[in-house]
């Protein structure tokens, strides 16, 4: 037998050995894809139902059923005539963006301290995370007086301040793992070059944890955009009210404008949905890189 024939038989044998595993791998991939598709469909059900409500009359909604008996498009122009929807959406974006800036200014050095300060950092992390476990309603009264003394009550800046502070524990928890992944030897080399702790954080650590910072910023943005309790408590008129508060205004004493409420919901979540899809890869990459040691 020649060398070429022996090589051909070896390749054929290897192919025969490996081939039984390929259908099983395909089945696993197909099953996983089907499972993910089912989960995505289940998560889309509430949005699809809201879309259904947006083209149904009030009587049709009260009669029950998942699908409209007939399409009632009048809800859309009625919703835009009833309120200045763009104003509330801009307020929500301004509050969310401002709160993210404040959250990161506090959370980045906070996470650096919890990751590098040993027992003191662990105690601070415990204190910060335990405060997040308290019901938000507990903080409403103290925050109300704080904003009143700062003359920030009923302002977009005041809501951004409150939401920014409220999201600090979440951001510290997310960023702590990213800071711990940065080798201490890199910081020690920076210290030998004459950099202090703050300069090392800004010039060395922060660029290395930028995926985590981006992920934390997106998550805190979504949390602030959806926040309702503080916006309802600290914004008494439309000048500072956000989209979640606007949705509650469609519920009157006797009637609820389900269709118009659904229209406002769809219009409000559309830009956030676009942002989430656009930043999906960065969000997943950031969270996964922080989870893998």
Do 240 and 156 share a structural domain? yes
Res. 230: pLDDT tops 80 = yes
Range of the domain at 197: 79-291
Residue 16: per-residue pLDDT: 47
Do 129 and 42 share a structural domain? no
Assess if residue 58 is contained within a domain: no
Do 149 and 93 share a structural domain? yes
What's the CATH code of the domain at 258?
A: 1.10.3720.10
Do 118 and 27 share a structural domain? no
Residue 292: per-residue pLDDT: 46
Assess if residue 68 is contained within a domain: no
- Span 74-125, pLDDT tens digits: 989 988 888 888 999 999 999 999 999 999 999 999 999 999 888 888 898 8
Do 266 and 124 share a structural domain? yes
Residue 290: per-residue pLDDT: 54
Number of domains in the chain: 2
The residue-averaged pLDDT of 128-151 equals 90
The residue-averaged pLDDT of 182-190 equals 85
- Give residue 161's pLDDT band: very low, low, confident or very high (50, 70, 90): very high
Res. 10: pLDDT tops 60 = no
Do 284 and 187 share a structural domain? yes
Residue 71: per-residue pLDDT: 87
Do 157 and 37 share a structural domain? no
Assess if residue 64 is contained within a domain: no
Assess if residue 74 is contained within a domain: no
Do 30 and 170 share a structural domain? no
Q: Among 37, 53, 69, where does a domain finish?
A: 53
Proportion of the chain above pLDDT 90, given as a percent: 38
- Of 244 and 189, more confident: 244
The residue-averaged pLDDT of 256-264 equals 87
Do 279 and 166 share a structural domain? yes
Closest CA to 222 of 272, 279, 155, 160: 272
Residue 13: per-residue pLDDT: 46
Assess if residue 279 is contained within a domain: yes
Do 86 and 148 share a structural domain? yes
Q: What is the pTM of this model?
A: 0.82
Assess if residue 210 is contained within a domain: yes
Assess if residue 119 is contained within a domain: yes
**Over the chain, what is the mean pLDDT?**
84
Proportion of the chain above pLDDT 70, given as a percent: 87
Do 86 and 41 share a structural domain? no
Do 112 and 48 share a structural domain? no
In three-state form (DSSP H/G/I as H, E/B as E, the rest C), the secondary structure along the chain is: CCHHHHHHHHHHHHHHHHCCHHHHHHHHHHHHHHHHHHHHHHHHHHHHHHHHHCCCCHHHHHCCCCCCCCCCCCHHHHHHHHCCHHHHHHHHHHHHHHHHHHHHHHHHHHHHHHHHCHHHHHHHHHHHHHHHCCCHHHHHHHHHHHHHHCCCCCCHHHHHHHHHHHCHHHHHHHHHHHHHHCCHHHHHHHHHCCCCHHHHHHHHHHHHCHHHHHHHHHHHHHHHHCCCHHHHHHCCCCCCCCHHHHHHHCECCCCECHHHHHHHHHHHHHHHHHHHHHCHHHHHHHHHHHHCC
- Span 141-157, pLDDT tens digits: 999 999 999 999 999 99
Assess if residue 61 is contained within a domain: no
């Amino acid at each position: 037998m020649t060398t070429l024939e022996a090589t051909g038989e070896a390749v054929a044998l290897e192919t025969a050995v490996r081939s039984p595993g390929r259908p099983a791998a395909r089945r696993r991939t197909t099953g996983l894809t089907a499972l993910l598709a089912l989960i995505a469909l289940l998560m889309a059900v509430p949005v699809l139902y809201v879309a259904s409500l947006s083209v149904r009359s009030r009587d049709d909604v009260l009669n029950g059923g998942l699908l409209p008996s007939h399409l009632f498009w009048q809800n859309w122009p009625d919703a835009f005539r009833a309120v200045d929807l763009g104003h509330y959406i801009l307020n929500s974006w301004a509050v969310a963006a401002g709160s993210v800036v404040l959250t990161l200014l506090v959370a980045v050095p906070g996470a650096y301290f919890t990751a590098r300060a040993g027992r003191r950092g662990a105690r601070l992390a415990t204190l910060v995370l335990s405060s997040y476990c308290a019901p938000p309603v507990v903080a409403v009264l103290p925050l109300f007086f704080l904003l009143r003394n700062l003359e920030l009550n009923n302002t977009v800046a005041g809501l951004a301040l409150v939401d920014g502070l409220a999201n600090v524990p979440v951001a510290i928890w997310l960023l702590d793992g990213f800071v711990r992944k940065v080798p201490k030897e890199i910081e020690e080399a920076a210290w030998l070059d004459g950099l202090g702790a703050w300069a090392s954080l800004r010039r060395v650590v922060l660029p290395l944890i930028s995926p985590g910072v981006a992920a934390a910023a997106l998550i805190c943005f979504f949390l602030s955009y959806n926040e309702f309790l503080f916006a309802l408590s600290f914004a008494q008129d439309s000048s500072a009210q956000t989209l979640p508060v606007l949705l509650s205004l469609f519920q009157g004493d006797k009637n609820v404008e389900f269709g118009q409420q659904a229209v406002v919901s769809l219009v409000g979540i559309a830009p956030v949905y676009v942002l989430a899809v656009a930043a999906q890869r960065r969000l997943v990459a950031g969270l996964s890189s922080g989870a893998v040691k």
